[in-house]
A and B are shown apart, each in its own frame.
Chain A
Amino acid sequence: MLSYALKRLLGAVPTLFFIITAAFFLMRVAPGGPFDQERTLEPSVMANLNATFGLDEPLHVQYWMYLKNLAQGDMGPSFVYRDFKVHELLGSGLPVSIQLGLSALVLAFVVGAMLGCIAALRQNSWVDYLVISVATFGITVPNFVVAPVLALIFAIWLNLLPAGGWENWSLQHMLLPVVTLALPQVAVIARLIRGAMIEALRSDHVRTARAYGLPTRRIVVYHALRAASLPAVTYLGPAAAALLTGSIVVEQIFGIPGIGRYFVQGALNRDYTLVMGTVIIVAVFVVLFNLLVDLAYAALDPRVRYD
């Protein structure tokens, strides 16, 4: 299994290289540059800026320089936030995004799995219908609606929680954004688990377990849920990569210093190095989580083996 994981990671290197190259040149195709703003700059000033950031070099030279620096772990300076290097911006925001995303992920999986199981066990009862209705609601109502409504109720009307802001691991600051992020995931996971669970409960090995007279709870948790969680785990790979790299909507609405905003702002500002940084982070997360999903398969499904 270890050698399989290593092989996969090694195989990701050309993928990453391709993504970096594509992103680098695509970014430059967009019209305008990092110093084009409402206030046009004097030509002499523009020349000084371009020289400072190496933008006066031919594109292939810039690309080569970027790769060379990157190989040494240097993502370069931000073109717009001039007091910071890209790794400083991402380094200060990524832990916050991960903290938020991971909490949402755990909450979504636990609550989603519970709701899915309950719905499956009470299939076609009012409990089932309630779970499915709530799930549909959770999927369809976008987070830019949920977030302000939660803030309105809990911060402005009830005055129980802050309307925004961030303190590391402060539960009261995390609660609303985590719930907002988790809600649609809860819904998706509940639906996935419910469907898979209904199928699993009818499967041969569960029937055998029943015949042996094992307690229901044990059957559900150890035998049925294990098989039923496979589709959810497949879904969780890319979902986790997306959640952990931040959400611009939730971060902006609650004023959270994560990296979600850099994806959009970096692109709008033509902050080339910052955009490259975010692309690299997402690419690495997607590669990693897909690998984790495959490894989880081996753990959950006895038929899957990596030798």
Chain B
Amino acid sequence: MLFRQFGALAAAGAITAALAVPAAAQTYFRGSDGDPETLDQHKTSTVVEANLLRDLYEGLVVYDSKAQIIPGVAESWEVSEDGLVYTFTLRQDAKWSNGDPVTAGDFVYSLKRIQNPETAAKYASILYPIKNAEAINSGEAEVDTLGVKAVDDYTLEITLEQPTPYFVELLQHQTALPVHPASVEEHGTDFVQPENMVSNGAYTLESFVPNDKIVLVKNDAFREADQVQIARVEVLPFEDRATCVRRFEANEVHSCSDLPGEQIERLKETLGDKVHIAPYLGVYYYGINTKKEHLSDPNVRQALSMVIDREFLADEIFSGTMVPAYSWVPPGIGNYTEDAPQFEYADMSMLDREDEALRLMEEAGYGPDNPLKIEISYNTSENHKNAATAIADMWATLGVETTFNVRDASAHYAMLRDEKVHDVARAGWIGDYSDPQNFLFLNESHNTGFNYGNYENPEYDALMDKAAAETDLAARAEILAEAEAVFLRDVPQIPLLYYSSRSLVSDKLQGWEDNIQNAHATRWMSIVE
């Protein structure tokens, strides 16, 4: 009996049947990298959460399908002469899923909530450009002193601490999404539960079973609901990338948000243009502890950087899913110069680079009798291990003796933050907004959290301060480029590779545009059978 039932089910193929429903009730089976840690936009910090919240809520501004900023709830905005006051005019037809209008007061409530220390928002710091935000979050000022004001229901005024040219770009980040104040007041932290959540995006939350799936359904109250084609999204978490690939090959999911590195070659052969590899706003690098005596000489660091064959790392270790990096700020970023600085040896042959590096090492007093000893710290991962082994091999041509120290991610990053006992440490950075400042600030001397090179250069800090005060975008870009040139001269951290996003996208899924933010809101997509 059971087996007869199973046979019938298998023949029908429950999931295939679901995929074949008429276009009027499209369901998008979306592979995701894992479960969100939270769906509270004020506690969020991960990319998985950004992707979900992008479908659930609409901010003042949003990304279009190519990740270009377009108006969202804000229809237009003006910036004061001094670059400090932003006045947003809100659309009158923006509604919450329960029918309430989306007002300027909702944004005031939300921006205050994320800075309130009681919220314990992981990523509150991204909105520190707003006046008094940092003081409030540190408990040094009252929440009501935040520089946000509802002039009327549809006019929002935000005052900044200092001019921030990328501020509008910041507002598309998921931390700047509004919450529905009445729901938060009524349900407290449980406002994110499916039965309580009121959202203002193209979708609402129907259910969330941890480790199983998150179901979103189209929000009929959304102001552009008539243009939203996919009626239902089932977001499936895949800790194991290979599992998503298998389900993609069995036609059970329409897209996968990441691919296992070791399968890339095979997938390119068998799936062709369903494999999407696109530049991504991120850099993979090695921080060199400049406070350690044997690594304090910039020439030694330069030699170490020079001799690394980045093409080998990109093609062989990462199967062509990473791009060789010869600068700190990834190409394609906004608000930057056309001819951004890069290492001068970017175009030299590996042989010439090795000769030059050997010369630098000799000058610094290192040689066969006095080898440089370095410990590479990295967090557990097959790829990081392979990269470190390859780099140790490349350094061996300089007579460097390399050892390894492997920790799991928590221990690795706790060490980098607190003890900073590393010689060389692996790290990566994915930009939150498309602006060079978001990469260059990692090396400011007061940025103890991220400055893994322990870099302390007043010249660099001064340039960063100068750029922060400059309101003219072109002039600011020049100053930031100058700062990057100083950084590349001193190499306190060695940029190795730029990240790429890698996805599988079914032919049935239309409207997926590869972009540098790897942002793909479901509202821009549709499914054809």
1/0 per residue, CB under 8 A from B, across A81-106: the answer is 11110000100110000000000000
Q: Choose among A32, A254, A268 the residue that contacts B413 (Cβ–Cβ < 8 A).
A: A32
A69 within 8 A of B: no
- Whether B209 lies near A92 (C-beta < 8 A) is yes
- B179 shortest CB reach to chain A, Å: 14
Main secondary structure of the interface of A (DSSP, over half): loop
Q: Choose among B139, B246, B417, B450 the residue that contacts A148 (Cβ–Cβ < 8 A).
A: B246
Docked pose: A33 CA to B417 CA in angstroms: 12
- Whether A163 lies near B246 (C-beta < 8 A) is yes
- Whether B409 lies near A268 (C-beta < 8 A) is yes
- B194 shortest CB reach to chain A, Å: 10
Among the stretches B119-127, B142-150, B313-321, B334-342, the one at the interface with A is B119-127
Docked pose: A200 CA to B333 CA in angstroms: 76
Interface residues in B, total, Cβ within 8 A: 63
- B200 shortest CB reach to chain A, Å: 19
- Whether B121 lies near A84 (C-beta < 8 A) is no
Residues of A within 8 A of B134 (CB): 44
The chain B residue sitting closest to A268, CB to CB, is B408
- Whether A45 lies near B410 (C-beta < 8 A) is no
Docked pose: A193 CA to B120 CA in angstroms: 57
Known: A31-B411, A45-B124, A268-B410. A164 touches B246 (CB 8 A): yes
A270 within 8 A of B: yes
A237 within 8 A of B: no
- A247 shortest CB reach to chain B, Å: 13
- Whether A33 lies near B414 (C-beta < 8 A) is yes
B236 within 8 A of A: yes
Docked pose: A5 CA to B398 CA in angstroms: 70
B415 within 8 A of A: yes
Residues of B within 8 A of A34 (CB): 410
Docked pose: A252 CA to B247 CA in angstroms: 12
B9 within 8 A of A: yes
The chain B residue sitting closest to A79, CB to CB, is B37
- Whether A82 lies near B40 (C-beta < 8 A) is yes
Q: Choose among A32, A43, A49, A159 the residue that contacts B120 (Cβ–Cβ < 8 A).
A: A49
Residues of B within 8 A of A171 (CB): 2, 5-6, 9
Docked pose: A156 CA to B252 CA in angstroms: 10
Residues of B within 8 A of A92 (CB): 209-210, 212
Docked pose: A171 CA to B189 CA in angstroms: 37
The chain B residue sitting closest to A260, CB to CB, is B211
Known: A44-B137, A48-B121, A51-B120. A165 touches B2 (CB 8 A): no
- Whether B410 lies near A270 (C-beta < 8 A) is yes
Docked pose: A89 CA to B238 CA in angstroms: 17
A307 within 8 A of B: no
A172 within 8 A of B: yes
Residues of A within 8 A of B243 (CB): 163-164, 252-255
- Whether B414 lies near A81 (C-beta < 8 A) is no
B475 within 8 A of A: no
1/0 per residue, CB under 8 A from A, across B400-415: the answer is 0000000111111111
- Contact residues of B between 18 and 42, Cβ < 8 Å to A: 35, 37-40
1/0 per residue, CB under 8 A from B, across A32-53: the answer is 1111111111111101110111
The interface centre, meaning the residue of B139, B192, B211 with most chain A CB atoms within 10 A of its CB, is B211
- Whether A45 lies near B125 (C-beta < 8 A) is yes
- A155 shortest CB reach to chain B, Å: 4
- Whether A39 lies near B37 (C-beta < 8 A) is no
Docked pose: A43 CA to B447 CA in angstroms: 11
Docked pose: A36 CA to B120 CA in angstroms: 15
The chain A residue sitting closest to B13, CB to CB, is A159
- Whether B428 lies near A36 (C-beta < 8 A) is no
Residues of A within 8 A of B212 (CB): 92, 166, 257
- A92 shortest CB reach to chain B, Å: 6
A206 within 8 A of B: no
A175 within 8 A of B: yes
- Whether B45 lies near A82 (C-beta < 8 A) is no
- Contact residues of A between 249 and 295, Cβ < 8 Å to B: 251-258, 261, 265, 268-270
A162 within 8 A of B: yes
- A257 shortest CB reach to chain B, Å: 4
- Whether A37 lies near B409 (C-beta < 8 A) is yes
Residues of A within 8 A of B193 (CB): 83
- Whether B416 lies near A40 (C-beta < 8 A) is yes
5 contacts between A and B (CB under 8 A): A32-B411, A82-B189, A83-B39, A83-B189, A159-B250
Interface residues of A (CB under 8 A from B): 30-45, 47-49, 51-53, 80-84, 89, 92-93, 148, 151-152, 155-156, 159-167, 170-172, 175, 251-258, 261, 265, 268-270
The 8 closest A-B pairs by CB, nearest first: A32-B410, A257-B212, A40-B449, A32-B414, A52-B120, A257-B211, A44-B138, A163-B250
